Structure 1
Amino acid sequence: MLAASDPSGPRVGYVLKMYPRFSETFILTEILAMEALGADVEIFSLRTPVDGHFHEALAQVRAPVTYLQRQLKPTDLWDTLRLGDAQLPGSLESALPHLLAVDPEDAAQAVELASLVVAHGVDHLHAHFASVAATVARLAARMAGVTYSFTAHAKDVFHDEVNPAELGQKLADAAAAVTISDYNLAFLRSTYGARADRVVRIYNGLDLEALLPSAPLRRPPRVVGVGRLVEKKGFDRLLDALALMVRDGRTVRLDVVGAGPEEEALRARTAALGLTGVVTFHGPLPQGRTLALIKGAAALAAPCVVGADGNRDGLPTVVLEGLALGTPVVATPVTGIPEAVVDGRTGLLVPEGDVAALAAALGALINQPGLRCRLAEAGRRHVEANFDTRKNTALLWQLIREAARERRVVTV
């Protein structure tokens, strides 16, 4: 049953770099949970989608989507500025120094978004990621006279390209800020001091009613790895670990779901290791098929690493999905992962980049049904207690309601 909108709550504009995005299921899950709570939501996307695949649940979202203009011609830019000047009396002139301090495209989108906020009666902006989406949301909120908040994840916090001064300003101006792990929270508070006082940790959540577990007592010797094929996922180490297992005479198969810039190199590595008949690269798959592969595997591998540029995973959704479905997870203690995969209790952790330890942990899960079942039971209890989207989105909704009510607006 669809929830009626909450007349006492603010109208919330979600500001996203790209919507929808195949790899960002956590945003889709959160928006659906927001709507189930009665939130009146509108989505503003800075980029048009480029993914060729979309999740089935996308059709359930009721929120309208507006795609902001990008790469404006001079005449279009002047039209945007004229509209902003008409709808934001006095704000555009006072905001000019702030607009000139950011990328011209971001500035133009901020003006357009501020005009839309006023025209559509939006009371609060919430951005996902502390990078470009938060940049545009911050400026638009200032010009439109509304509050804003954002959720910080990982790349937007730890990547070498993060500008600490800019992130500190966003934290200081935000009516509220969220991050997705205790690890992130500790980093932000130690790095940004009082500017991070309003940051709270709210875990990304799962729709647990759609993720029913099964006991992994009888599973074939299959391992599954899911994610973008990029350095931080550590799939090169996973292939090396699989080669060790095969060399030791173990029967094992690996399913890799996802696409990305490292695909060609990973396929070449598979061939060089003699694993062509052992590894299947599926490419991107619909969520239903991906979850079926996870649910049928003896183990889900998430051997994440910190990239050379500082990029890293925050707390991968697929790790939570594995725990929810009853598939034991082998992962590394990168950023917030140990908050979900508690070593020896809800899953197994191995040192980052330790191929031998990764092979041993995967082998243990393949060979020990009792261990699989024990970890699976505890893993499901852990996600029910900490990663239920209904509970966690309710916390976010309350935070946004309080932020909008306080109207902590920083004027330009």
Structure 2
Amino acid sequence: MSSRAGAEGTVSYVVSGYPVLSQTFVRNEVFSLRRAGVAVDVSSMGRGDRESIPLEWSGPYHAMPEVSWSEALRDALWWARRPRAVLRLLAAIRLCTAAEPALLLRGVPTTARRLAGLDTRVVHTHFGWRAIVPALYVAALLGVPATITTHAADIFMPSRRLAQRLAGMARVVTVCRSNVPHLTALGVPDSKVSVIPCGVDTDVAVEPVADHRRVVSVGRLVEKKGFDVLLGAFSQVADRHDGAVLEIVGDGPEREALEAQTVRLGLGERVVFAGSLPNDEVLGRVVRAGGFVLACRRLPNGDSDAMPVSLREAMVRGRPVISTEVAGIPESVDEHVGWLVPSEDPDALASALHELLSDPAEAARRGLAGRDRVVRTASLETSAQAMLRVWDDLEAGR
């Protein structure tokens, strides 16, 4: 791991919300950098899920809007005495078409002044959504590069002004190769794009399967996750496998409709809706199951997952995965580590579920192959090293 970042300055994250249950990959990235000795500061625009996530898991962070008006005025005047910083900020404001005026008046000057005292070397953000603007503003005041990690819907369904805001980024990171054409279509040159998969903790044991007949799926209960397709597929195999159970972990707007579909299909207690759970409990459910399934789909409006981290979390625990040919999923999932089927195809998904449930030995073999792949290509350390190389390269080229 490079030591330069930890020795020569702070990596400052400016994000929309932190910590967020559905964005454990952001926490994992911050955690892995800190564990390597890198000074990381996190500024969050929103509250995230802080009420349900302990500080010992998320690590320390700051809330941007929680600044008194007197503090905001004091810090704005501090920056007003630095004309070069003000000129850089005005350029960023023009680039962002004067977006987020409330933060300009309140959170940005205070956050930037605090970070100036930490010798910040780069400002990083995740997603091409709301936080991209304050990240650019803070970086402008500090006179340091801004970088971003893009994921899925943020570039599949880009906002009207995303292209011009990405142009202000010194480097654009994305989580899978299939995302690169979406970025080049937004005007980002190939030379500015780095593909860095979201890493997972590989320092976990492969525990014995508690119940080979249990299959688990994890995600927000939203249309793009394809839970309705999964239920249709499971209804085709449930009667063929005595005791087979599908456990769905997560919550969301589709829950009532999915529970009604379960009743219509006569699945009764064969489907368990576990609701939203803390991260450790979610992973515990994955470990107890014989396999993991995610029936992702791309919606007509372009919304889709890119490469759900939950797939790698299952793979690193030695659990075979079943998923669909959507976006970047085929870059990690194939017949060697699980089953890959067309999206929106309940028959193909049912066939994969049947194979998984029929042959525990083959399922275990694919599960171990999947773990080996993640350990080699997508550990927390590997992803952190790649991020540090991006920032080191920027510094070397300045």
Please report the TM-score for the alignment, with normalisation by the length of structure 1: 0.86
Q: Which letter maps to 1:223?
A: V
Q: After superposition, what is the alpha-carbon deviation per residue over 1:103-160, rounded to whole angstroms, capped at 9, x for unaligned?
A: 434544444433333344322101011222222211221232111111011111102x
1:100–1:107: 8 Å Cα contact kept in structure 2? no
Match of 1:282, SS state, is: strand
Per-residue deviation, 1:27? 1.1
1:258-297 counterparts in 2 under 5 A?
A: 258-297=250-289
Q: Which runs of 5 or more structure 1 residues have no equivalent in the other structure?
A: 408-412
Question: Which moved further from structure 2: 296-305 or 78-87?
Answer: 78-87
1:254–1:278: 8 Å Cα contact kept in structure 2? yes
Q: Which runs of 5 or more structure 2 residues have no equivalent in the other structure?
A: none
Tell me which residue corresponds to 1:346: 337
Q: Which letter maps to 1:89?
A: P
Alignment partner of 1:200 is 2:191 = no
Closer, same or farther: CA 51–69 of 1 in aligned 2, 3 Å: closer
Q: After superposition, what is the alpha-carbon deviation per residue over 1:290-347, rounded to whole angstroms, capped at 9, x for unaligned?
A: 22221221221110011243221121111001111111111001111111112x1111
1:15–1:125: 8 Å Cα contact kept in structure 2? yes
Alignment partner of 1:41 is 2:40 = yes
Match of 1:222, SS state, is: strand
Q: Distance in 2 between matches of 1:294 and 1:110?
A: 41
Tell me which residue corresponds to 1:156: 154
1:295-306 counterparts in 2 under 5 A?
A: 295-306=287-298
Which of 173, 179, 183 is the aligned partner of 2:178? 183
Q: Distance in 2 between matches of 1:61 and 1:87?
A: 36
Tell me which residue corresponds to 1:410: none
Which of 92, 97, 112 is the aligned partner of 2:94? 97
Q: Which letter maps to 2:365?
A: R
Question: Which moved further from structure 2: 370-379 or 75-84?
Answer: 75-84
Q: Which letter maps to 1:352?
A: S
Alignment partner of 1:221 is 2:216 = no
Match of 1:298, SS state, is: strand
Q: Distance in 2 between matches of 1:228 and 1:124?
A: 32
Aligned length: 393
Per-residue deviation, 1:215? 6.0
Q: Which letter maps to 2:279?
A: Q
Match of 2:268, SS state, is: coil
1:10–1:401: 8 Å Cα contact kept in structure 2? no
Q: Distance in 2 between matches of 1:113 and 1:307?
A: 38
Per-residue deviation, 1:50? 3.9
1:225-244 counterparts in 2 under 5 A?
A: 225-244=217-236
Per-residue deviation, 1:42? 0.6
Tell me which residue corresponds to 1:375: 366
Match of 1:330, SS state, is: strand
Question: Which moved further from structure 2: 99-108 or 310-319?
Answer: 99-108
Per-residue deviation, 1:84? 6.2
Q: Distance in 2 between matches of 1:373 and 1:303?
A: 21
Q: Distance in 2 between matches of 1:252 and 1:60?
A: 34
1:47-62 counterparts in 2 under 5 A?
A: 47-50=46-49, 52-54=51-53, 59=56
Per-residue deviation, 1:173? 2.3
Per-residue deviation, 1:170? 3.3
1:214–1:325: 8 Å Cα contact kept in structure 2? yes
Per-residue deviation, 1:373? 2.1
Q: Which letter maps to 1:66?
A: H
Which of 391, 396, 400 is the aligned partner of 2:391? 400
Per-residue deviation, 1:7? 5.3
Q: Distance in 2 between matches of 1:375 and 1:298?
A: 11
For the aligned residue pairs, the C-alpha RMSD in angstroms reads 2.8
Q: Which letter maps to 1:134?
A: I
Alignment partner of 1:331 is 2:323 = yes
Q: Distance in 1 between matches of 2:220 and 2:245?
A: 20
Tell me which residue corresponds to 1:11: 10
Q: Distance in 2 between matches of 1:44 and 1:285?
A: 25
Match of 1:208, SS state, is: coil
Q: Distance in 2 between matches of 1:271 and 1:76?
A: 57
Please report the TM-score for the alignment, with normalisation by the length of structure 2: 0.89
Q: Which letter maps to 1:206?
A: V
Match of 1:225, SS state, is: strand
Tell me which residue corresponds to 1:167: 162
Q: Which letter maps to 2:63?
A: Y
Closer, same or farther: CA 106–315 of 1 in aligned 2, 3 Å: farther
Per-residue deviation, 1:286? 2.4
Q: After superposition, what is the alpha-carbon deviation per residue over 1:347-381, rounded to whole angstroms, capped at 9, x for unaligned?
A: 10111110111111011100112320221121111
Q: Distance in 2 between matches of 1:42 and 1:380?
A: 31
Closer, same or farther: CA 113–196 of 1 in aligned 2, 3 Å: farther
Match of 1:43, SS state, is: strand
